[in-house]
Amino acid sequence: MSESAEVLSLAALAEWQAALSSYAETLAEGLAGIELELRRLSDWLEEQATYWKRMVRQREEEVTRARAELSQRQFPGWDGRVPDCTVQRKNLQRALARLEHAQTQVERVRRWQTRLPKIIDEIYRGAAHRLQRMLESTIPAALEDLHARRAALEAYTALEPAATSARASSGIPAKTEQDQGTGSTQAAAPSPTPAPVLPFPPENGEGP
């Protein structure tokens, strides 16, 4: 088994952790922004309802005044002739149209005040709740796991220089490939070279 592991993913883990943290912040800001816009929309509908109800009351008064003016204009003059009432009739028609428009707006706002919460619940709330759970549990767990992995790798990489320095200070040489392959710590001494065999007997009976 190898004594060390090649650590190449420490920087990648740091980048992934930073990216995940940034994504969580962006997601949280997005959800908060959507909630704010939904509240603004609800408040705006409430303001519109109040406004158009007030417009209905004002335009009812306009219709009342226009009718009164037309009624007064229709009385015959001292010569028994009825004056021209074209202007008064147009004023009344305009007042009635304005009143009808205000009443229509009141009804439209009322319908949207009823429909909007249903649309939000059907389309948005379910997805928003899932994203919120991810923000509260899934992403924090993933960040914690990445942090633990980074800490373990950083601790491991810190051990390698310390081990090398300790071997150097103690004078213990590092294992060679031959040592790691055979398991021996010392090479065997070479055998002595044998004496050559002569093809004829030595002179004077002397040995070699």
Mean pLDDT by 10 residues, the chain (208 residues): 53 86 93 95 97 98 96 81 88 97 98 95 92 91 88 79 54 49 46 46 48
Calpha distance 18→32 (Å, rounded): 21
Calpha distance 144→13 (Å, rounded): 12
Calpha distance 128→4 (Å, rounded): 46
Question: Which tokens in the block code for residue 11?
Answer: 């920087």
pTM, full prediction: 0.59
pLDDT of residue 39: 95
pLDDT of residue 147: 86
pLDDT of residue 118: 94
Q: Would you state the torsion angle of the CA atoms of residues 70, 73, 76, 79, taken in this order, to the nearest 10 degrees? A: -160
pLDDT of residue 50: 98
**Among residues 19, 16, 10, 13, which one has the least CA distance to residue 155?**
10
